[in-house]
Amino acid sequence: MTPFSYSRRVKLRELVRTNSLLVPLLFALAAAGLGLALPELDETFTFPRTFGATSAQVLLGAIATGLITLTSIAISISIAGQSFGSSAMSPRILRWWSLSQKPKVAIGMFVFTFTYALIVLGRIAPTDDPDFVPNMSVWLSMGFLLLCVVALLWLMRYMSTTLRQVETLDAVAKRGAKVIRHAHPLLEEGEQEEPPWKPGATGENGRVVLNDSGRGVIVTFHTTGLVDEAKKADAVLALLHTPGSFITLGQPLFLVSPGDAAIDANRLQGMIAYSDERTLESDPLYAIRLLVDIAIRALSPAINDPSTAVQALDRLGGLLRLLGPRRLSSGAARDDEGAVRLVVPLPRWDEYLDAALTEIRQFGEGQMQVARRMRALLEDLLDVVPDFRRPTVERHLRLLEQSVERGFPTPEERELAAIADSEGLGAPRSTSVTD
């Protein structure tokens, strides 16, 4: 794997996006440059004398000291918020939050003002000019202090909205919809589901390339690079694992057809990017996983919050409606001449539906809201999915009916739980448009 391979570039990009020190460090460097340059301008241009040396030193010392406390408060708010949110929703949400730059910018502003105040403080009354005070620089430090107060209030507002489960549900569903649109094009009129792709489908004389470059979860791959490599060798590449799969060294990674194609296995390895956990970059099923995690955490006996599970089902229903009319067969990438050069296994309709509903149905058994909302979701899917996908939806309806039979002991409760209700309790599904 080359030093600048696609895999290493993705890893570097993720490190930059998730690193909590980089943004504050950049702010500190900017403050150092500004703190050194601005007093020079004070010496060059005449600025009204406002502060004496002693008052300026006291002011800047107070700003620097206060910002140590302010920075500690901001970091405490961020850590406490993330800890509470991960325990209330899902530990996997922590990585999602780590991609946000807003808390890092707020903390960076505190570090900037602290660094700037210290450097300007050192420029007051030097030994060669005991009366020199960089008045413009001192005034700017007060302006930066006001920005820090604004940043603290902004950070508190951001954390309070982020900790609302509905905000996280909406953010995950929005990102998931984007990944689904990218991974799955719409079905053509009359198009049917293709049979599942299996290793060997690209040719019986294929050659297996083993993974010897990394271990972890496959998060994305370089489609254009893999297609180009396959075209140069006049071959077809089949990735043997779906994005989101965890693989270790020595496992089969690619199937190359024909087996004698002159293709560089090391270059192929460098076009697969790994991480320590799944991400939403090229893994449309992971958005569903995150929503389900939040729902089943809410359904645990310790929390017992079926209303949050209903909110998760609202977003899952939207993603499943989006998936229903789309092509969910193995992703096939073609070269500029239209020949298939890369085949990637992707989740099928039944796998999406199983992942979205199975655990919520199991953990929500006996919960009236969950049963009614799930029935409304499934009946809605029957109205929008192609006919060849209806059997999977009907299977889940039968499973839901069995769950209702087990979860509600009396006929009256079972009758109430069998109503399709888009709000869980309160809005039964209309049987016709005119109702």
At residue 112, what is the residue type?
A: F
Determine the pLDDT at residue 194: 62
Residue 125 forms part of a structural domain: yes
Q: Is the confidence at residue 336, as pLDDT, over 80?
A: yes
Band of pLDDT at residue 396, cut at 50, 70 and 90:
very high
Q: Does any domain span residue 233?
A: no
Res. 4 pLDDT band, cuts 50 70 90: low
pLDDT > 70? residue 46? no
> Considering the domain boundaries, does residue 157 fall inside one?
yes
Res 432: pLDDT: 43
Task: Tell me if 128 is assigned to some domain.
Answer: yes
- Is residue 378 situated within a structural domain? no
pLDDT tens readout for residues 204-218: 567 888 888 778 888
Q: What is the pLDDT of residues 226-242, one digit of tens each?
A: 999 888 888 888 888 88
Based on the structure, what is the number of domains in the chain?
A: 1
Task: Tell me the per-residue pLDDT of 143-177, one tens digit each, with 9 for 90 and over.
Answer: 999 999 999 888 888 887 777 888 889 989 999 99
User: Is residue 401 assigned to a domain?
Assistant: no
For the stretch 354-367, pLDDT in tens is 999 999 999 999 99
Question: Cβ neighbours of residue 65 under 8 Å, at least 6 residues apart?
Answer: none
Structural domain contains residue 119 = yes
More confident: 43 or 169:
169
Per-residue pLDDT, 275 = 84
By C-alpha distance, which of 104, 82, 96, 90 is closest to 14? 96
Token pair recorded at residue 122: 């050192």
**Residue 430's pLDDT is what?**
52
Residue-averaged pLDDT of the chain: 85
Q: CA dihedral in degrees (231, 232, 235, 238; nearest 10)?
A: -70
Q: Which domain holds residue 149?
A: 6-163
CA distances 19 to 70, 98, 127, 369, Å, are 21, 8, 41, 40
Q: Is 229 domain-assigned?
A: no
**Does 433 score more than 50 pLDDT?**
no
The rounded distance, in Å, linking the Cα atoms of 200 and 259 is 11
CB 102 within 8 A of CB 20: no
Which of the pair, 280 or 251, is modelled with greater confidence?
251
User: What mean pLDDT comes out for the span 407-420?
Assistant: 92
Whether the pLDDT of residue 431 is over 70: the answer is no
| pLDDT interval class at 195 (50, 70, 90) | low
* Cα atoms in the 13 Å half-sphere on the side-chain side of 259: 7
Q: How confident is the model at residue 72 (pLDDT cuts 50, 70, 90)?
A: confident
* pLDDT mean over 101-125: 90
pLDDT in tens, 370-382: 999 999 999 999 9
pLDDT of residue 199: 47
Residues 384-405: what's their mean pLDDT? Answer: 94
pLDDT per residue as tens digits for the range 298-323? 998 888 889 999 999 999 999 999 99
